[in-house]
Amino acid sequence: MTKIMLAKANAISLMGLAGTVIEVESEISSSLPGFVLVGLPDASLTESKDRVRAAVQNSGMKMPNRRVTVNLSPASVRKQGSSFDLAIAVSLLAAAGTLQSQSLVGWVHLGELGLDGSLRRVTGILPALLAAKKAGILKAVIPNANLSEAQLVEGMQVVGATHLRQVAQLHGLAVAGVNLVDNATDSNEAILVSTPNTDLKRLPDLPIDMSDVVGQEEAIQALTVAAAGGHHVLMVGPPGAGKTMMAERLATILPDLNLEDALETTAVLSIAGNRNITSDSLILRPPFESPHHSASVSSLVGGGMGLPRPGVISLANNGVLFLDEAPEFQKPVLEALRQPLESGEVIIHRSGGAAKFPAKFQLILAANPCPCGHGFGSGRHCRCSDQIRTRYLAKLSGPLLDRVDIRLSISPASKAKLAASRGGAEGSVNSALLRERITSARQKARTRLVGTPWSVNAQVPGSYLRKHFPLPAASLEKLERALLLGRLSMRGYDRCLRLAWTNADLAGTEYPTASDVSQAMYLRGPDNFFDRAAGAAIE
């Protein structure tokens, strides 16, 4: 009678930030020797057969001289990457009787094996462990190189190993020279057990500050409103007006992330392969991403061969995405922003499924008024025709601009203010003071929006504001008139409402006043804002 030996281990398959528990079943039967891997593996996973065989033999353990069948279940889920190596190895060794099968229950094993049996770093450890925890698996073995990242997950026992021998010892095999020691540092053959560390600590301030900006008080106030309400911004102005400088400093006035957002942001970096994630590097500060204007659609949105990788818009999740010289970007790249701006996520479709990445970023667009950059004021130095200016600004489509709440025309600072700055004078406000105001305003909005899926004013639909938070007719008089005269569309009307609520939150009032609504209309600008910007050179 043919004797069949069977054992199971767990691994995690990632598609985007979503993880699926994969049951790795190894069967050893008395048939002709062979190694078969089934369950929809990709090419790199199929190659794990040779890595596992060599790693087992070079670790001093015996590879079964029989037919080995490894099944990855559920078979309907596409499995990608080399992080399944360790789970395949331990399930195979347990099926062979080398390890205790019962000891694998309740554990998840993640890691790539070298031919010598060493365990190598893999990407996506943080989202993988979060998925395991969500599925009720609270113990994990991972490469020691990923252990610091694993400390960001609370409520799990995570073991870091450098070699397959250590994992074998953990599961009941007596291996000479291997010790099971918590937090050991004095042995090259010691298993390290992580201690969770998710303390939220205030990070030191960045070396840049909003006080570096001189002569742009009006623009700084507009960016303060943008930061408080999560509003997208367009800045149009000549070179040297300070657009880039102010955009870079927007990140310094944003409040730190809460634990949930910090874990999500850090998990995206883990998927992207950031090797610098440690127990002290939970991303608390909102990220700031500024891609070059030559960026492609895939680099911005995400994709790539094999396992989909997050793009720049996902790396900017919960932070700022700054597109300098926005009209210089390819039109398909700019249009690819429209869906993520509405949904807060990006979905990358593959034949094996769809990868979903978060993309809740605050968009800041900066543009010159024309290709030569001199089409402002009197425009006497501008070399561009009206047609060229119009065509240049038209690269930013109407549907994209409709999603931008604040539209600013930036002029260079006056000579007097620039002279004062050379004498050592700083801007009127610093980032710490602005961040304090913004934090207070956001808390006020969160309190008002409790029980809803929104946390900042920019996310709230206008229909919800009109129904649940109606304003007095006196406050809306100017806004209603602009709508009646066709100066604003209904979408522009709703965006002005959101801005008005942010103004009220910054002022600490319960409801927006007529002054708050007027300020919102000024920040929003008319629906023909770009038509005016294109014609600024001939005013």
Tokens of 134: 């969500």
pLDDT at 45: 84
Residues 364 and 399: their CA atoms lie apart, in Å, by: 16
Amino acid found at 204: P
Q: Which CATH superfamily is domain 210-538 in?
A: P-loop containing nucleotide triphosphate hydrolases (3.40.50.300)
Residues 261 and 263: their CA atoms lie apart, in Å, by: 5
pLDDT at 274: 74
R_g over Cα of the chain:
28
Tokens of 445: 């909005």
pLDDT at 353: 76
**What secondary structure letter does DSSP report for 370?**
S
pLDDT at 389: 83
pLDDT at 40: 85
Residue among 123, 120, 127, 121 nearest 266 (CA):
127
- Count other Cβ atoms within 10 Å, centred on residue 222: 23
pLDDT at 486: 84
Topology given in CATH for the domain delimited by 5-193: Ribosomal Protein S5; domain 2 (3.30.230)
pLDDT at 186: 42
Longest dimension (CA), the chain: 97
Amino acid found at 323: L
Tell me the domain boundaries of the chain: 5-193, 210-538
pLDDT at 104: 95
**What secondary structure letter does DSSP report for 213?**
-
Backbone angles phi, psi at 365, to 5 degrees: -105, 135
- pLDDT (tens place) for every residue of the chain, 539 residues total: 455 589 999 999 999 999 999 999 999 998 888 999 999 888 878 889 999 999 999 999 999 889 999 999 998 888 888 899 999 999 999 999 999 999 999 999 999 999 999 999 999 999 999 999 999 999 999 999 998 888 889 889 999 999 999 999 999 875 655 555 444 444 445 566 666 665 555 556 678 899 888 888 899 999 999 999 999 999 998 888 899 999 999 999 999 999 899 999 999 999 988 766 765 567 889 999 999 999 999 999 998 777 788 999 999 999 999 999 999 999 999 999 999 998 999 999 877 678 899 999 999 999 998 888 776 655 567 888 888 888 888 889 888 988 899 999 888 877 666 666 555 555 568 899 999 999 999 999 999 999 999 999 999 999 999 999 999 999 999 999 999 988 888 888 999 999 999 999 999 999 999 999 999 999 998 766 655 554 443 33
Tokens of 187: 């042995």
pLDDT at 305: 74
